[in-house]
Structure formats: C-alpha cells, structure tokens
Amino acid sequence: MNVLRTSLAKGAAGARGTAVVIDVFRAFTCAPLFLHLGVSRLVLEADPGQATALRRAHADWILAGEVNEVPIEGGDLSNSPSEILRKGRAFFQGRTLVHRTTAGVTGATAALGSADEVLLGSFVTARATARYIAERDPGTVTLVAMGSRAAEPSPEDEACADYLEHLLTGRAYDHLSALKEILFDPAAGKFLRGGRAHLPPEDPALCLQRDLFDMVLGAEMDNGRVVVRRKV
C-alpha cells in the first residue's frame, strides 16, 4: 500500500486511489454525529447558493454549515458538533440534511473527480477508517489534510493524517505532542477564547476525541448529488 500525503484544495482535486479527505475542525466530526443522531440522508453541497436553494425547496430538510466559518445564510444550524449535540436526536431523526463547509465538503466533492473512492476523515472515525482501508488493501491511499478554509495548513488535520498513517503503516505517532501543537495554535484558539457564538469553545473537545465512532463514511455521487454513505 502506497500512502501519499497531500493537502488543501489542490491536494483534494488531485487525490488518487482511496482518498481520505480530512477535516477535523469541523466538517467530518459533524458528519458522523449527524448520522449517529438519526439523519436518514446526508447531502454534501459545496456551492452555498445551491445549498440554500435546496433548503428553500424542501421545507422538511435541514441545512447545516458555514461559509468561511460564518453560519450559512438560511441555515438551521452551523458547522458545530456541540450545537449538533444540543439539538439532539429528535431534531435529526429521519430527516435529510444538506451540509456545506468551506474545507471538508468542498474537498470531498473535488476528490470525487480523481480518486477511486472518497472517505471522510477525522479523529472520531480514524481507527474504523484505517481498518476499512487495511482490509481492502488498495494500491494507493491519499491522505488529504484540508487545513484552514482549504487554503492554509492546520495542525489538527495534519495530526489526524499522521494518526491515520500510523494506523495504516505503523509509523510513530505521539498524540500528546499532537494535542500540544493543536491546542496552542491559533486555529484552536479561535474556539477556546470564546466570544463568537459560531465558534463554541466546546467544539475542540469533541473534535479531538479519537475513535469515538465505529463508523466509516464515504462520499459518492447519487443522481447528481454528492451523498454520504456508511461503508461500515
């Protein structure tokens, strides 16, 4: 198995083999939470205008996400795992949810154009994802760390890629050192300082939980829409 490391929007667009598109803060921490809380269909929509149009056209659908971290106009909730937990199962059960984010969703959508398979990566599903890949033993795996707004590297996504590479190849990984780098970086500081409702200080605590879900999520095309399906 050849494990490649790449990042940001360019890396997603050129991903090969089995691509794991990583967005720890926060898209692909949110995605398994949506499904865990009962969402019946999860649609990824990279275009904000299309995402809001889908919400307007379907009164019973949920729109969640952000544009450069600001909650998406016309949305029902932002891209926040702690907000999702507060909403609870009754809000999500049996509903279709449209998810739009600047890094993770756009990256997964772009990777579909070049990769054989696209998986959604974060700490909360890392071990299950690595096990799924190892069992299938593809020739090439591309780990895509989407970073901040898909434009600048971020330590949480690089660390998650390090962890996945450790699980796949045995390469050394020190989670305590990773946490130190992540928590003292401005990316986490935006949350931890508080003061902005759309960046709750509780979110990093949820996003940095390892292996919380025994769930593997993939992005696939379905009748012209990008949907998330459970592989396991």
Determine the 3-state secondary structure of 142 from DSSP: strand
pLDDT confidence band for 167 (50 / 70 / 90): very high
**Residue 51, token pair as written in the block:** 């995402």
pLDDT at position 6 is 98
Query: 213-217, long-range: CB within 8 Å, 24+ apart, which pairs?
Result: 213/32, 213/36, 213/124, 213/125, 213/128, 214/128, 215/32, 215/35, 215/36, 215/125, 215/128, 216/119, 216/125, 216/128, 216/129, 216/132, 217/28, 217/31, 217/32, 217/35, 217/119, 217/120, 217/125
**Residue 84, token pair as written in the block:** 């999702």
Start-to-end CA distance of the chain, whole Å, equals 21
Q: List pLDDT tens digits, range 199-225.
A: 999 999 999 999 999 999 999 999 999
Question: Is the pTM for the entire model greater than 0.95?
Answer: yes
Q: Which residues, 6 or more positions from 100, have their beta carbon under 8 angstroms from its beta carbon? A: 44, 45, 46, 47, 48, 51, 63, 64, 65, 66, 67, 72
* High-pLDDT (> 70) share of the chain, %: 100
pLDDT at position 188 is 95
pLDDT at position 232 is 86
Q: Report d(CA 187, CA 155) in Å as an integer.
A: 8
Q: What is the mean pLDDT of the chain?
A: 97
Are 154 and 128 spatial neighbours (Cβ–Cβ below 8 Å)?
no
Q: List pLDDT tens digits, range 136-163.
A: 999 999 999 999 999 999 999 999 999 9
Per CATH, the homologous superfamily of domain 2-230 is ComB-like (3.90.1560.10)
Determine the 3-state secondary structure of 140 from DSSP: strand
Determine the 3-state secondary structure of 118 from DSSP: strand
Q: List pLDDT tens digits, range 54-82.
A: 999 999 999 999 999 999 999 999 999 99
Opening angle at CA 129, ends 32 and 200, nearest 5: 35
Q: Report d(CA 67, CA 228) in Å as an integer.
A: 20
Q: Which residues, 6 or more positions from 201, have their beta carbon under 8 angstroms from its beta carbon? A: 191, 192, 193, 194
- Over 178-221, what HEC string results? HHHHHHCCHHHHHHHCCCCCCCCCCHHHHHCCCCCCCCCEEEEE
pLDDT confidence band for 113 (50 / 70 / 90): very high
Q: Report d(CA 103, CA 152) in Å as an integer.
A: 10
Spell out the domain ranges in the chain.
2-230
pLDDT at position 110 is 98
- Asked if residue 195 has pLDDT above 90, the reply is no
